[in-house]
Amino acid sequence: MNSMSESTISKHFEEHFFVSGHTACSGCGQALAARLVVDAIGKNNIVANATGCLEVFSTKCPQSSWRIPWIHSLFENAAAVASGIEAALRYLGKIDTVRVCAFAGDGGTADIGFQALSGMLERGHDVLFCCFDNEAYMNTGIQRSGLTPFQASTTTSPAGKVWKGNWRLKKSLVEIVAAHFIPYSASASVGFPQDLQRKVKKAISLRGPKYIQIHVPCPLGWGFDSSLTIDIGKKAVLSGLYPLVEYEGGKLTKVFKLSQKIPVIDYIKPQSRFRHLLKDEEALRQLQKVADKNIEYYKLGEV
Amino acid sequence: MRKFLEGSHAVAEAVKRCKPGVISAYPITPQTHIVERIANFVANGELNAQFINVESEHSAASVVLGAEACGVRAFTATSSQGLILMSEVLFNIAGLRLPLVLVCANRALSAPINIWNDHQDAVALRDSGWIMVFAENNQEVHDLIYQAYKVGENPKVMLPVMVNMDGYILTHGMEPVDIPDQALVDKFLPPYNPPYKLDVDNPLSLGLLGDPTVYLETRYALQKTLEEIKDLIPKVGEEFKQLFGRKGLEFVEGYKIEDADSVILAMGSVCGTVKDFVDKKREEGEKIGLLRIIVYRPFPKKIIYELLKEKERLFILEKAISLGMEGPLYTEVKSLFNKPSPKMYGFIAGLGGRDITFNTLEEMLKVGKDKEVSCYFLDVDHSLLKDEFYV
Ligand SMILES: Cc1ncc(C[n+]2csc(CCOP(=O)(O)OP(=O)(O)O)c2C)c(N)n1
Ligand SMILES: [Mg+2]
């Protein structure tokens, strides 16, 4: 290794708190988002990470991509472990200088981890919970979760002769979390990195429980070319299928306005999980209706 | 200071003197008095700690896991269904090498739901990597709390400890308990200072993915530590005795076993009854004794073997069963002996809080006179089993 590349490497380690060398798939939206989040928070931050892709691809013993203190315990308890860390910091008198984050996938947040999350919110712990929403159980091979979108084909909600993919709407988790009347509950997307980092910084400036649900496209699980991650992320938002919203104290305070609205077909076309809709006009119309309803409900189109 | 206390409060008084920084628990009978009393200490400023009221035992165990990982001493208590709900986290805590102390108020497992005492909850967790001790009375459970932290937090150990006490019998039973001065406890138990923790000035990653190239070694290390603890446990017990002037931690307690030809083996509060029974039988001329197992994990194989190898008969009396096999303690004790070995009799009794009385123990000896049994249920009411649904 020559000295030039060494200095490049050490610069890289200095600048980021989540560094490369991990085993994520190419184009992984979650890896990008994780780095954006921890870089926005900085050094004085402890992370409790649930079981899932992020934990698996970032910490294959003896290596770790994390340059901040990090712990993984189980699948469903990230919020509770983070609560314990926060309590310990409070006891140690360090709660004003060290921030606590909990990271989990959509399954670890909306399904199996939901009880622990609700408990953490209700108790008022000073923790930022980030849900990396790739819309299925990816680590175990693309099974349906409560955040899998309407009509998406997964290995446990496959599109077939009878089924048209997932037959339920995505759980309104940002709203459910906001209903705990916590300081901040928001959705964000890795497709809009500046908006994501602004939300993270805003969240950590507030005391108490905060929640950010980050849309992270998954090339393998959604079936798209790994160069399209950011593009797909943007299109999800612009189609109205993934509204970016902010709740403060339980009240909707801000939405990401759609200056250039696109039809859902532009979003789903490159993804094999929606392929069955391309031959099914009625099903496609229903999905467009979901987007239209979002746009109407959150007033995404009004400038 | 000597106080007349129920066992739950004897635990709370000891926990207070260990100064944990984070306490988290979830209500379940017959554990609840423990954390209620601790909550009172915190509410009145007698204990400076974060008391976290969680939404489940799974989260209670996870909260104290997070606190211990930050290098803060923590405490939780539970029972029965709560322990089983925690079980996923308990294996995790041992694997993460976090020296938590948990008090289990031993209670039967559902179904049918039953709030009374047996040992099935704790025994179901025997393979988890936790150090497990069983108390006989309120003084012992009080003293075990101090020693549990002392053993578990030893940098060479770094393992969690489950202190078991019989639900109701001890948790709700009143006994005089000697409570030490704080200064004495501070001398015995230094502040918790772990060799690794979550710290922004020295960022470590804990709980990594251990693939087939490393996982096996983590289990090997756990087993090695548990084997090597055998020297530390009596040392801690001796240090406790020197400072506090009371019996300290030991693996087992022998009661009139030196000249005995028959020995009963048991754990927990039933040993009080068994001791009285031994006295009675000795008056009747029988050479009988009791070996009480205090440390169940690591299992004191050598000690039990050395003490009992020359005995004629061993009566293993258990409040738990490995269904489809026999009492786990019977299996374990039996595995220690080659032929010629003492004759061994396995008995299951007291499940779901059924009283173990002198009559129970008489029946046990009587069965043993006729035949060797491996899994004999004592005090079964066969009239309840007539219905073909049950048998
Ligand atoms: C109690 C428990 N149940 C199931 C699993 C198996 N499991 C591990 S990760 C995972 C999926 C994770 O999905 P998600 O939370 O969405 O994260 P992703 O991998 O998609 O990022 C599952 C089902 C587990 N580890 N623990
Ligand atoms: Mg997922």
The reported pLDDT for the residue numbered A59 is 96
Determine the distance in angstroms separating the CA of A298 from the nearest CA of chain B, rounded to an integer: 33
Could you say which of B199, B225, B244 is where a domain stops? B244
Residue B366 lies in a domain: yes
Residue A60, token pair as written in the block: 């294959």
Mean pLDDT across B165-177:
98
Contact assignment for B89 to A77 by CB distance below 8 Å: yes
Q: Is A145 close to ligand 1, i.e. is its CB under 6 Å away?
A: yes
The reported pLDDT for the residue numbered A1 is 39
Q: Is A213 close to ligand 1, i.e. is its CB under 6 Å away?
A: no
Closest partner CB to A64 (pick from B22, B208, B210): B208
Contact assignment for A69 to B200 by CB distance below 8 Å: yes
Q: Is A155 close to ligand 1, i.e. is its CB under 6 Å away?
A: no
Using DSSP, state whether A24 is helix, strand or coil.
coil
Residue B299, token pair as written in the block: 């299992």
Contact assignment for B204 to A69 by CB distance below 8 Å: yes
Ligand number with the minimum distance to the CA of A113: 1
Mean pLDDT across B40-49:
98
The reported pLDDT for the residue numbered A6 is 60
pLDDT class of B67 with cuts at 50, 70, 90: very high
Q: Which residue has the tokens 């001791």?
A: B275
The reported pLDDT for the residue numbered B386 is 78
Residue B389 lies in a domain: no
Residue B223 lies in a domain: yes
Q: Are residues B175 and B321 in the same domain?
A: no
Contact assignment for B21 to A76 by CB distance below 8 Å: no
Contact assignment for B198 to A74 by CB distance below 8 Å: no
On whether the CB atoms of residues B315 and B364 are closer than 8 A, the answer is yes
Closest partner CB to A81 (pick from B55, B66, B200): B66
Residue whose C-alpha is closest to residue B170's, from B113, B265, B103: B103
Burial of B183 (0-12, 13-18, 19+ CB in 10 A): exposed
Nearest CA in chain B to A113: B59
Closest partner CB to A82 (pick from B49, B66, B211): B66
Structural domain boundaries, residue B374: 254-384
Distances (CA, A) of A260 to A235, A237, B176: 10, 10, 78
Residues whose CB falls within 8 Å of the CB of residue B210, separated by 6 or more in sequence, listed in order? A61, B218
Return the H-helix or E-strand segment holding B224.
helix B215-244
Q: Are residues B30 and B166 in the same domain?
A: yes
pLDDT class of A2 with cuts at 50, 70, 90: very low
Instruction: ipTM value, please give it.
Output: 0.96
What pTM, to 2 d.p., does this model score?
0.96
pLDDT tens digits, A39-67: 999 999 999 999 999 999 999 999 999 99
Q: How far is the CA of A99 from the centre of ligand 2 (A)?
A: 24
Contact assignment for A87 to B210 by CB distance below 8 Å: no
Q: Are residues B202 and B286 in the same domain?
A: no
Residue B112 lies in a domain: yes
Taking the mean position of all CA atoms in its chain, how far away is CA B380?
Answer: 26
Helix H, strand E, coil C: the string for A64-121 is CCECCCEEECCCCCHHHHHHHHHHHHHHHCCCCCCEEEEEEEHHHHHHCCHHHHHHHH
Contact assignment for B55 to A122 by CB distance below 8 Å: yes
Total domains in the fold of chain B: 2
Mean pLDDT across B362-388:
91
Nearest CA in chain A to B206: A71
Residue B391 lies in a domain: no
Contact assignment for A88 to B66 by CB distance below 8 Å: yes
Q: What percent of chain B has pLDDT over 70?
A: 99
Q: Ligand 1 pocket test: pick from A75, A103, A144, A155 the residue with the most ligand atoms within 8 Å of its Cβ.
A: A75
pLDDT tens digits, B77-99: 999 999 999 999 999 999 999 99
Q: How far is the CA of A79 from the centre of ligand 1 (A)?
A: 15
Distances (CA, A) of B153 to A174, B101, B150: 41, 10, 6
pLDDT class of B169 with cuts at 50, 70, 90: very high
Residue B390 lies in a domain: no
Q: Are residues B127 and B35 in the same domain?
A: yes
Nearest CA in chain B to A62: B208
Could you say which of B212, B244, B276 is where a domain stops? B244
Q: How far is the CA of A133 from the centre of ligand 2 (A)?
A: 6
Atom of ligand 1 nearest to the CA of A218: 20
> Tell me, what CATH number does B377's domain have?
3.40.50.920
Is residue B390 over pLDDT 60?
no
Contact assignment for B198 to A71 by CB distance below 8 Å: yes
Is residue A272 over pLDDT 70?
yes
Strands B174-178 and B252-255: unpaired
Is residue B388 over pLDDT 70?
no
DSSP string of B47-99, one letter each residue? S--EEEE-SSHHHHHHHHHHHHHTT--EEEEE-HHHHHHHHHHHHHHHHTT--
Chain A positions touching B98 (Cβ under 8 A) are none
Q: How far is the CA of A109 from the centre of ligand 2 (A)?
A: 9
Q: How far is the CA of B328 from the centre of ligand 1 (A)?
A: 33
Q: Is A107 close to ligand 1, i.e. is its CB under 6 Å away?
A: yes
Closest partner CB to B205 (pick from A56, A70, A74): A70
Q: Are residues B60 and B93 in the same domain?
A: yes
Mean pLDDT across B340-367:
97
Contact assignment for B22 to A88 by CB distance below 8 Å: yes
Chain B positions touching A80 (Cβ under 8 A) are 54, 58-59, 62-63, 66
Mutate to test the interface with A, among B62, B193, B199, B217 (most CBs of A within 10 A): B62
Is residue A225 over pLDDT 90?
yes
Nearest CA in chain A to B60: A80
Q: Ligand 1 pocket test: pick from A55, A58, A73, A140 the residue with the most ligand atoms within 8 Å of its Cβ.
A: A140
Chain A positions touching B207 (Cβ under 8 A) are 59, 71-73
Mutate to test the interface with B, among A64, A81, A115 (most CBs of B within 10 A): A81
Residues whose CB falls within 8 Å of the CB of residue B195, separated by 6 or more in sequence, listed in order? B155, B158
On whether the CB atoms of residues A11 and A36 are closer than 8 A, the answer is no
Interface of B with A (CB under 8 A): 21-22, 24, 48-50, 52-56, 58-59, 62-72, 74, 88-89, 92, 96, 198-200, 202-211, 214
Is residue A10 over pLDDT 70?
no
Q: Are residues B98 and B37 in the same domain?
A: yes
Is residue B320 over pLDDT 60?
yes
Domains of chain A: 10-297 (3.40.50.970)
Q: Are residues B119 and B155 in the same domain?
A: yes
Residue B268 lies in a domain: yes
Chain B positions touching A72 (Cβ under 8 A) are 206-209
Residue B300 lies in a domain: yes
> Tell me, what CATH number does B79's domain have?
3.40.50.970
Chain B positions touching A86 (Cβ under 8 A) are 66
Return the H-helix or E-strand segment holding B104.
strand B101-106
Could you say which of B188, B212, B244 is where a domain stops? B244
Is residue B268 over pLDDT 80?
yes
Q: Are residues B114 and B213 in the same domain?
A: yes
What does pLDDT average to over chain B? 97
In this complex, how many residue pairs, one in chain A and one in chain B, have their CB atoms less than 8 Å apart?
155
Closest-CA residue, ligand 1 atom 1, reads A75
The reported pLDDT for the residue numbered A15 is 79
Residue whose C-alpha is closest to residue A216's, from A22, A36, A6: A36
pLDDT class of A302 with cuts at 50, 70, 90: confident
CA distance B151 to B129: 14
Q: Are residues B318 and B286 in the same domain?
A: yes
Is residue B160 over pLDDT 80?
yes
Is residue A107 over pLDDT 70?
yes
CA distance B141 to B132: 12
The reported pLDDT for the residue numbered A12 is 58
Q: Are residues B205 and B265 in the same domain?
A: no
Nearest CA in chain A to B198: A69
Q: Are residues B211 and B328 in the same domain?
A: no
Atom of ligand 1 nearest to the CA of A147: 16
Q: Are residues B169 and B271 in the same domain?
A: no
